[in-house]
Amino acid sequence: MKADILLGLQWGDEGKGKIVDVLAPQYDIITRFQGGPNAGHTIEFDNKKFILHTIPSGIFNKNTINVIGNGVIIDPFVFNKELEKLESSQISVDKNLLISKKAHLILPTHRLLDAMYEHNKGKAKIGSTLKGIGPTYTDKTARLGIRIGNIERNDFYKKYKELKEKHLQIIKSFDFDYNTQKIEGLTLDEYEQKWFDAIEIIKPIQKIDSEYYINQSLNNNKKVLAEGAQGTMLDVDFGTYPFVTSSNTVAAAVCTGLGIAPSKIGEVYGIFKAYCTRVGSGPFPTELDNEEGQKLRDEGREYGSTTGRPRRCGWVDLAALKYAVMLNGVTKLCMTKADVLNTFKTIKAGANYDFGGKLIDYIPFEASYENLNPVYKEVQGWNCNTTELKKADDMPAELTAYVKFIEQEIKVPVAMVSVGPDRSQLITL
């Protein structure tokens, strides 16, 4: 068997959690391969809503094993909060959650460093979720990090103290007053205490050499779906650098984040909103800083799942989508939040960019620093309620036409259209 991938094609929050949850019954294993608690994946069913940050979105399906891969970084404090929320809804993870021993730990002081670096950037701040992502991946590549497998070893506390000291030295050298800095509303000492309590909670969870586990599962014809976090335009290499996250978010990261060969990749589901959002700073050519943008925010309830921040909203950006499809080798598209456009008379899509008077449909290096002005194509809205639709045949003609238009532009078929946050609100094409 080959592993399938589902990942975001825009700036995150495309609805990955919802679609992974829908697909979960078709898979034996759902696995995260990168990112950490900067992710917020929302799943709704039976009038209940869950937001997952570290745990894969297959956790609500009893028969699916969920693996947190080696490419993921874990904050025990956040992870424990997730567990508590699941347990309070009688969702047990005892049998179907496994963690890679090679996944790195986010230390309390990684979070302080994140806050300090953002603070020091002033107006140029990334708009980080401040979950410690950048500093933790930095330590990983600097070969200083501490991994999940280290928790059980005798020298764990010694390693922890050494790394914490290094971090505090850096913080002091920047003259950053960490004593007044709160992490999730707690002082460093308070947070550290809860972090170590959470380490005890992680201890009984099964930890594995996940690269062997995933490869053996594929060899045994098990179906594996790799769940992306963030989105392609936040990729550390190909996103709108430096306004990106600190991991590779593209399909290639599945190979390093799980330890599987490129030849083991099957379908690549690319997921995008029928419009576009971004949270945090950085270029967003099709952003609507006007009433229409506000309408998208209101109708789409566009407020961050992890931070609660209002998301910036705009039209779909076809050039950026084509770029994402190219980078990821997307074989099937999934368009979410079509229902959010139910009351728009007309819908626009950025087709090209005007870049210094030249019409282009690619994203040049200079786009990080200079303006790309989108040139729009406009299609008719459908002006009806789509939230109850179950079948492609019942879709209003204008929605079908919008889907066809996107397929023609992107040259990849749309396999699913999502028309609401609930698990049941999905049309398979």
Taking alpha carbons only, the member of 413, 334, 70 closest to residue 226 is 70
Q: Does 337 bind ligand GDP (CB under 6 A)?
A: yes
C-beta of 17 vs 108, nearer to ligand GDP: 17
Least distance in angstroms from the C-beta of 41 to Mg ion: 6
Instruction: Convert residues 291-310 into a mask of x (bound to ligand GDP by CB under 6 A) and - (unbound).
Output: ----------x---x-----
Task: State the residue for tokens 């003259």.
Answer: 175
Q: Which residues bind ligand IMO (CB under 6 A)?
A: 8, 11-13, 38-41, 126-129, 131, 133-134, 229-231, 234, 245, 279-280, 305
Q: Does 15 bind ligand GDP (CB under 6 A)?
A: yes
Q: Does 40 bind Mg ion (CB under 5 A)?
A: yes
Instruction: Indicate which of ligand IMO, Mg ion, ligand GDP, none lies near residue 58 (CB less than 5 to 8 Å, by partner kind).
Output: none
| Ranges within 305-364 binding Mg ion (CB under 5 A) | 305
- Marked catalytic residue, from 21, 28, 41, 317: 41
Instruction: Convert residues 141-180 into a mask of x (bound to ligand GDP by CB under 6 A) and - (unbound).
Output: ----------------------------------------
| DSSP per residue, 12-80 | S-SSHHHHHHHHGGG-SEEEE-S--TT--EEEEETTEEEEESSS-TTTTSTT-EEEE-TT-EE-HHHHH
Cβ-count burial 100-122 (b if 16+ within 10 Å, e if not): bbbbbbbbbbbbbbbbbbbeeee
Torsion over CA of 220, 223, 228 and 233, rounded to 10 degrees? 100
Q: Does 340 bind ligand GDP (CB under 6 A)?
A: yes
Instruction: Indicate which of ligand IMO, ligand GDP, Mg ion, none lies near residue 420 (CB less than 5 to 8 Å, by partner kind).
Output: ligand GDP
Amino acid letter, residue 228: G
| Piece of the chain touching ligand GDP by CB under 6 A; list 8-16, 171-179, 316-324, 342-350 | 8-16
Q: Which of 4, 10, 11, 13 binds Mg ion (CB under 5 A)?
A: 13
Which stretches of 176-290 are DSSP H helices?
188-202, 210-219, 252-258
| Piece of the chain touching Mg ion by CB under 5 A; list 11-19, 124-132, 261-269, 313-321 | 11-19
C-beta of 227 vs 339, nearer to Mg ion: 227
Annotated catalytic, 41? Answer: yes
Q: Does 8 bind ligand GDP (CB under 6 A)?
A: yes
Least distance in angstroms from the C-beta of 324 to Mg ion: 16
In whole angstroms, give the CA distance from residue 250 to residue 228: 8
In whole angstroms, give the CA distance from residue 57 to residue 96: 12
Q: C-alpha angle 288/290/292, rounded to 5°?
A: 75
Taking alpha carbons only, the member of 410, 391, 399 closest to residue 274 is 399
For the record, the structure tokens of 340 come out as: 């959010």
C-beta of 157 vs 241, nearer to ligand IMO: 241
In whole angstroms, give the CA distance from residue 134 to residue 390: 41
Annotated catalytic, 235? Answer: no
Instruction: Indicate which of ligand GDP, ligand IMO, Mg ion, none lies near residue 350 (CB less than 5 to 8 Å, by partner kind).
Output: none
Whole-number CA gyration radius for the chain: 21
Task: State the residue for tokens 């098990």.
Answer: 222
For the record, the structure tokens of 126 come out as: 């990334």
Q: Does 42 bind ligand GDP (CB under 6 A)?
A: yes
C-beta of 17 vs 145, nearer to ligand GDP: 17
Least distance in angstroms from the C-beta of 13 to Mg ion: 4
Q: Does 420 bind ligand GDP (CB under 6 A)?
A: yes
Q: Does 16 bind ligand GDP (CB under 6 A)?
A: yes
Within its chain, how far is the Cα of 214 from the centroid? 21
Helix (H) or strand (E) run with residue 94 in it:
none
Q: C-alpha angle 428/388/24, rounded to 5°?
A: 40
Instruction: Convert residues 103-122 into a mask of x (bound to Mg ion by CB under 5 A) and - (unbound).
Output: --------------------
User: 396 preceded by cis ω (within 30°)?
Assistant: no
Q: Which of 28, 29, 34, 41 binds ligand GDP (CB under 6 A)?
A: 41
Least distance in angstroms from the C-beta of 18 to ligand GDP: 4
Taking alpha carbons only, the member of 405, 271, 399 closest to residue 325 is 271
Least distance in angstroms from the C-beta of 109 to Mg ion: 26
Crossing angle of the two packed helices 188-202 and 76-88, in degrees rounded to 10 = 60
The site for Mg ion (CB under 5 A) is made up of 13, 40, 305
Residues noted as catalytic: 13, 41
The site for ligand GDP (CB under 6 A) is made up of 8, 12-18, 39-42, 44, 301, 305, 336-337, 339-340, 418-421
